[in-house]
Amino acid sequence: MSEHILVAVAWPYASGPRHLGHIAGFGIPSDIFARYHRLKGNHVLMVSGTDEHGTPVTLVADREGLSPAAIADRYNRQIGDDLSNIGLSYDTFTRTTTHNHYQVTQDLFTTLYYKGYLLKQTTQGAFSSKTGRALPDRYIEGTCPVCGFGEARGDQCDNCGSQLDPIDLINPRSKIDGSPPVFQDTEHFFLNLPAFAEQLTEWIGRQEHWRPNVRSFSLNLVQELKPRPITRDIDWGVPIPLPAYVDRTDKRIYVWFDAVIGYLSASIEWAHNRGTPDAWRDWWQNPQARHVYFMGKDNIVFHSIIWASILMGYGNGGSYGGGSGTPLQLPHNILSSEFLTMEGRKFSSSRGIVIYVKDVLSRYDADSVRYFLAIAGPENQDSDFTWAEFVRRNNDELVANWGNLVNRTLTNAYRNFGAVPQPGPLTERDQQLLAEVEQGFATVGDAIDVGRFKAALTEVMRLSAQVNAYLSEQEPWKVIKTDRERGGSILFIALRCVDHLKMMMTPFLPFSSQRLHEMLGYTTTIAGPLLFREYTEEREHTHRVLTGDYDTWDGRWAPTSLPVGQALQAPQPLFKKLDEQIIAEELARMEQSEH
């Protein structure tokens, strides 16, 4: 029976280009998961978009003398291109500045407000004495009252680790313009998280399938919930949809509140764009649907606590909770990854310790990068990207094991038969190998389903090595000289194994798997091109959405039946071997960009 699966992927922030660490944390795992479930025949809805509101975007805009919207436009385009180029198969990758997203966000806000889950409270905020702009804590700098460190941030001191309040800093100044901040009262709306404490505890307690770090971390937080402000003193964001506020330009909904709502609004947009406006309900108001969220570990709290509370509070209210009458679905799993480091150090765009997605893809194939991030990514603990490891994994594993198996099998078969050979009687060994490889659909699939992507890919590679061993032991290139039928049988077995493994590789390596599919003589699509489509909303605002015609892809996660006699294409190497020289080149490039 096919399932409805929502693949909810963290929204990349549109203040600049995204680096390899972002792709490693949420992009590759979510895409493997989504592609696998599509092959399984499940109804997958994979959504995300660029997160475009908030202070950092306004700062970049100020620096460049442009509007926040112009900055958001630029990086929405750039990030969309990156994600498409690395093959992330979103059903809808949109943005948070759409009319639809504003509507959905405002509906959730007002519904929570009228249900009594929002509290109005006055707090002290810091404002720049020069521009009058609000200063988030981390943009205030001063001397630490605890240890005397001169460059403590408003939220915490990097020297002694103390938690600080900006008002306690000695000699505070704006990190942005150097002016001393002014502290004044400001009124905001707070999400009453304590109201959900009991429900959250009960719900998280039941989620025994969550990764232990996510579950215990979240359970712990639930013990001490405080109301959390969900509006900000800023002019760049979703307007507050209450009569007294809707025309004010100085207060907006907090970027994190609207960002998580993106999962829902993007689903609604997807349904609208394809002309079936209620289709999103099959995921969001279907108690059988599974919602799986992908993100880095720094985002857990926003999903397990805040987003869950918003959904619990909204329930079946508002403009979107009606319809089928069941409340909006809570997350089924939260697959948070750890962090990728770069040559042993934290990624830092500001310090130039970084490799941007667009740069790596301009020099290397997407599947090489995907292979590395899938097999060596930060799935359970922080992991390190080094150029030496990248070259080694590519050359000694991807090329040498899988690429070579494909190449030697196809070369032998193509040269001697030009087509899938008709096999004679199969030996026990033949059948044993076929059975072992076919077993992979179960073991690899189960691993992917529970988020063990490294283990899954390792198993495919192990099976590939098994087929390499079979070829070395059976030596079809020799046998064929004396017994053409037996030689054909061996190659038939190897081809069938390659065909199966191709399907298992598709979620990990979609580009090369499609090319292999064609080399094997198929004319259909198992991993086709992704597409950008333009949509125009009310007020003639047009935006670009990354999507794909996944309904037309026909791969199935099951043993394939490679037709005997199917003509093969002349084989081409699937992957490029990388010259060891690139290690030194890339390190030099990085050194140059450091500052």
Partner RNA sequence: GCCGGGGUAGCUCAGUGGUAGAGCAAACGGCUCAUAAUCGUUAGGCCGAGGGUUCGAUCCCCUCCCCCGGCACCA
Backbone angles phi and psi of 487, in degrees to 5: -55, -40
Residue selected from 81, 155, 168, 343 as contacting RNA according to rule CB under 7 A:
155
**Which span (51-59, 239-247, 356-364, 534-542) binds RNA, by CB under 7 A?**
51-59
Cβ 64 vs Cβ 232: under 8 Å = no
Which residue number, 289 or 305, has a Cβ lying nearer to RNA? 305
Based on the shown chain and the rule CB under 7 A, indicate whether residue 479 belongs to the binding site for RNA. no
Q: Tell me, what amino acid is at 138?
A: R
- Report the site for RNA in 237-276 (rule: CB under 7 A): 254-256, 259
Q: How many CA atoms lie within 13 A of 55 on its CB side?
A: 14
Which residue number, 39 or 353, has a Cβ lying nearer to RNA? 353
Cβ 493 vs Cβ 430: under 8 Å = yes
* H-assigned helices in 340-475: 357-363, 366-376, 387-392, 404-416, 428-449, 453-474
- Report the site for RNA in 495-554 (rule: CB under 7 A): none
Residue 580, number of CB atoms within 10 A of its CB: 12
Residue selected from 66, 400, 558, 583 as contacting RNA according to rule CB under 7 A:
400
Q: Is 268 left (phi over 0), alpha (psi -120 to 50) or beta?
A: alpha
| Closest listed residue to residue 361, CA positions, set 353, 348, 370 | 370
Which residue number, 346 or 351, has a Cβ lying nearer to RNA? 346
Residue selected from 392, 484, 544, 589 as contacting RNA according to rule CB under 7 A:
392
**Which span (97-105, 240-248, 270-278, 391-399) binds RNA, by CB under 7 A?**
391-399
Residue 71 C-beta: closest distance to RNA, Å: 13
- Distance, CA of 69 to CA of 75 (rounded, Å): 10
Residue selected from 29, 68, 87, 154 as contacting RNA according to rule CB under 7 A:
154
Based on the shown chain and the rule CB under 7 A, indicate whether residue 399 belongs to the binding site for RNA. yes
Residue 117 C-beta: closest distance to RNA, Å: 14
Site string for RNA, 351-390 (x = CB under 7 A): -------------------------x-xxxxxxx----x-
| Closest listed residue to residue 429, CA positions, set 476, 379, 359, 388 | 476
Residue 49, number of CB atoms within 10 A of its CB: 30
Residue 403 C-beta: closest distance to RNA, Å: 3
**Which span (151-159, 310-318, 530-538, 544-552) binds RNA, by CB under 7 A?**
151-159
- Distance, CA of 475 to CA of 405 (rounded, Å): 13
- Report the site for RNA in 169-228 (rule: CB under 7 A): 186, 188, 193, 212-213, 216-217, 220-221, 224-226, 228
- Report the site for RNA in 328-357 (rule: CB under 7 A): 338-339, 346
DSSP state at residue 523: -
- Report the site for RNA in 437-456 (rule: CB under 7 A): 454-455
Based on the shown chain and the rule CB under 7 A, indicate whether residue 73 belongs to the binding site for RNA. no
Which residue number, 90 or 257, has a Cβ lying nearer to RNA? 257
Cβ 190 vs Cβ 232: under 8 Å = no
- Report the site for RNA in 458-477 (rule: CB under 7 A): 458, 462, 465, 468-469, 471-473, 475, 477
DSSP 417-441: TSB-PPP-SPPHHHHHHHHHHHHHH
- Distance, CA of 323 to CA of 583 (rounded, Å): 56
